[in-house]
Amino acid sequence: MMPNGLLCSNPSPESMLRPHAAQMCHFLAVNLSVPCTQVELCMYPRLIAHPTGLGRRHLGVSATTGKVCGILQQRTQPSEKTMNMQNSNVEAHQVKVLTLDTMNPQIKKIEYAVRGPIVQKAVDIGKQLQRGVKWPFEEVIHANIGDGHAMGQQPITFLRQVVALCTYPELINQNGFPEDVKRRARKILGACGGRSLGAYTGSQGIESIRIDVAKYIERRDGGIPSDPTNIFLTTGASDGIALMLKLLISGSGSVRTGVMIPIPQYPLYSALLADFAAIQVNYYLDEEKCWALDVAELRRALLEARKHCSPKVLCVINPGNPTGQVQSRRCIEDVIRFAAEENLYLMADEVYQDNIYAEGCAFHSFKKVLFEMGPEFSNKVELASYHSTSKGYMGECGFRGGYMEVVNMDPQVKNHLVKLVSVRLCSPVPGQATVDIVVDPPQCGDPSYELFIQEKTAVLDNLATKARLVEETFNTVPGIHCNPVQGAMYSFPRLDLPPRAVEAAKKCGQAPDMFYCMRLLEETGICVVPGSGFGQLEGTHHFRSGFHLFFIHLDTNCLNSHILSGNKTNHFRLSHLTYCSGLFTILENITLCFGESVNSSCYCNWVVKRWWRGAYVQTAVLIASGFKFCWAVWKRAFS
């Protein structure tokens, strides 16, 4: 008898044989004395009936194919008993190994609001718009993430030229590129295996680039030494943060590692802690004091956490994401003293160190302050700090370039960190090259220097203008309050939602700010991230919004006449002004929540009188107008 495993629930000459070809070969050759050439026909029966006679000519079995077909035909009518056994086998084979019940339970706990349900909905709406599906707007405004280039920010010329030459070295020998660009490309390629970005590097990254990073840190911190062996080139800052947390988290039960993170926080931290099954210890930033970090709050959180875990790590984000605050030097000193007193490992997320806007604010690295506090602290406090090419004036998110510097790490532990990094082989080499360009930019006298300074200054000045504008904009909207944006690339306004709106959200099974942000997306096309995804004090509601390229230049008379000609409908249309140049674009339609009608001419007059400023029309104006317009309807609907 043929083995039952050869049969299938819907047998045919082909489907019967493919799953167990080896068994069939053995069965036919040994039990039925079928020649090997005929076995090949059984393995792929279509050759038998091939119109060209391919199987017959190739196998030389024209006289025996009938026998093979007979063998196959005999097997197509299995007994009822055999069929029942086969059906059981099929059902057994259909049971999946990986299911919701068998998957890693920690993965289920991971949430990442920056690309959460609202963003997924925004992407889906965008696809629908491309297919011609009608929404009350013509494009989705993605203000959910700080991706400058995706929103129109132009790349730095020197950086892109060097990367282009490194990627395609033949360009080095051609005219059209400055000599300092060619020189840098040759240097980077000379440090790569085979002079190619496609080769693996050392696990910590290219040594010459790590040396350049160390020199950059020394310049930034006023001459405080930096050891290249303590530098790790990473896949963005996120990779370095994950590496250190994996190294730090241990224990179980009441001695499981606790990690202190700021609330509001960048959701990477809560996601990683869920992944690593660590204990998240929240300390709350003070919104009433511009999201200041208070050591008294750190101590409260620490003492509370020690009742159920072993807090070992203190994470600080400076400048803040999503809150946009810049910590003062005194605050950093207090945090370092606290870490020293409580024997905590410090992790300083400093990826926005180039993004400082507010007058009187300055970036102070934790490492610089640590060493300037003297040996009592600089010889004791363990620190890991992070930087990235994704933010700042560069905005090169896609290259995934970043670095981590560790201070006062135990040498034996460091060996294990190197081992952990080695498992990943190396960070992307184009990203490493980008890091080198950022930490060692053109210097005065270089051919590319003037253009580099011009582009860098333009980007940072532009962002500083937007930071001021975003605060002014949201603070004109009733029910929204926004702290000054001192740094980074985001605002985190507070929403004073009507009680009935909160109740409506609960009935929908949503956080109130999620409910509001989803309505905002569906009615206006603006995609922002609910504050609940970052953490917030109980009873408060926020959203995070980016502010890249927040205004455009338009003809004054054209704009004035267009606004004043608005018709009295539920939509305030600005189709002629639509221009996607930043995280916010001018809204093509501002749709009223719940379909209520409002006198749009009064609304237009409010826009002109309150917001007209010379020859610039700010995207923020119309977005604020949309918020205000919808807010009035919300208050009427839910008050």
Q: With helix as H, strand as E and coil as C, how does 27-84 read?
A: HHHHHCCCCHHHHHHHHCHHHCCCCCCHHHHHHCCCCCHHHHHHHHHHCCCCCHHHHH
Asked whether residue 347 is assigned to any structural domain, the reply reads: yes
Asked whether residue 451 is assigned to any structural domain, the reply reads: no
Position with higher pLDDT, 564 vs 573: 564
Candidates 631, 620, 549; CA nearest to 587 is 620
Q: Would you state the pLDDT for residue 77?
A: 55
426 and 551, same domain (yes or no): no
Residue type, 176: G
Mean pLDDT of the chain: 76
The arithmetic mean of pLDDT across residues 190-213, rounded, is 93
Asked whether residue 173 is assigned to any structural domain, the reply reads: no
The arithmetic mean of pLDDT across residues 207-211, rounded, is 96
The owner of tokens 């099954």 is 277
Rounded Cα distance, 510 and 504, in Å: 9
Q: Would you state the pLDDT for residue 314?
A: 97
**Residue 11 predicted with pLDDT over 60:** no
How large is the greatest C-alpha to C-alpha distance in the chain, in angstroms? 97
Position with higher pLDDT, 388 vs 145: 388
Asked whether residue 454 is assigned to any structural domain, the reply reads: no
Q: Is residue 228 within 8 Å of residue 210, measured between CB atoms?
A: yes
pLDDT 10s digits, 583-613? 232 222 222 333 333 333 333 333 333 333 3
Q: Which two tokens stand for residue 461?
A: 């000045």
530 and 623, same domain (yes or no): yes
514 and 615, same domain (yes or no): yes
Q: Would you state the pLDDT for residue 74?
A: 52
Q: Is residue 490 within 8 Å of residue 545, measured between CB atoms?
A: yes
pLDDT 10s digits, 67-112? 545 554 554 455 666 666 666 555 556 788 888 887 888 777 777 6
Lowest mean pLDDT among 323-337, 450-464, 616-630: 616-630
Rounded Cα distance, 231 and 215, in Å: 11
Q: Would you state the pLDDT for residue 298?
A: 96
Q: Is residue 513 within 8 Å of residue 532, measured between CB atoms?
A: yes
65 and 139, same domain (yes or no): no
Position with higher pLDDT, 411 vs 43: 411
Q: With helix as H, strand as E and coil as C, how does 182-242 read?
A: HHHHHHHHHCCHHHCCCCCCCCCCCHHHHHHHHHHHHHHCCCCCCCHHHEEEEEHHHHHHH
Asked whether residue 351 is assigned to any structural domain, the reply reads: yes
- By percentage, how much of the chain surpasses pLDDT 70? 70
Rounded Cα distance, 589 and 230, in Å: 53
Burial zone of 102 (CB within 10 Å; 0-12 exposed, 13-18 middle, 19+ buried)? exposed
pLDDT 10s digits, 439-493? 999 999 999 999 999 999 999 998 888 888 888 888 887 788 899 999 998 889 9
Q: Which domain CATH number covers 465? A: 3.90.1150.10
C-alpha distance across the termini of the chain, in Å? 80
Of 439, 467, 498, which residue sits at a domain end?
439
Q: With helix as H, strand as E and coil as C, how does 360-381 read?
A: CCCCCCHHHHHHHCCHHHHCCC
Q: Would you state the pLDDT for residue 366?
A: 97
Q: In the chain, how many domains are there? A: 3
pTM, rounded to two decimals: 0.72
345 and 463, same domain (yes or no): no
Asked whether residue 559 is assigned to any structural domain, the reply reads: yes
Rounded Cα distance, 571 and 589, in Å: 5
Q: Which domain CATH number covers 217? A: 3.40.640.10
Position with higher pLDDT, 141 vs 626: 141
Kind and range of the H or E run holding 602: helix 600-611
404 and 467, same domain (yes or no): no
Q: Would you state the pLDDT for residue 337?
A: 96
Q: Would you state the pLDDT for residue 70?
A: 55
**Backbone torsion region of residue 595, taken as left when φ is above 0, otherwise alpha when ψ lies between -120 and 50, otherwise beta:** left
Candidates 387, 421, 405; CA nearest to 203 is 421
What does the angle CA 370 – CA 372 – CA 376 come to, to the nearest 5 degrees?
65
386 and 479, same domain (yes or no): no
**Residue 361 predicted with pLDDT over 60:** yes
Lowest mean pLDDT among 261-270, 519-528, 591-600: 591-600
Rounded Cα distance, 283 and 317, in Å: 12
Q: What is the torsional sign of CA 310, 318, 397, 116? A: positive
Look up the domain containing 584 and give its range. Answer: 135-149+459-638
Q: Is residue 560 within 8 Å of residue 591, measured between CB atoms?
A: no
pLDDT 10s digits, 166-183? 999 998 988 889 999 999
Lowest mean pLDDT among 90-104, 204-218, 518-532, 618-632: 618-632
Rounded Cα distance, 331 and 341, in Å: 15
Asked whether residue 391 is assigned to any structural domain, the reply reads: yes
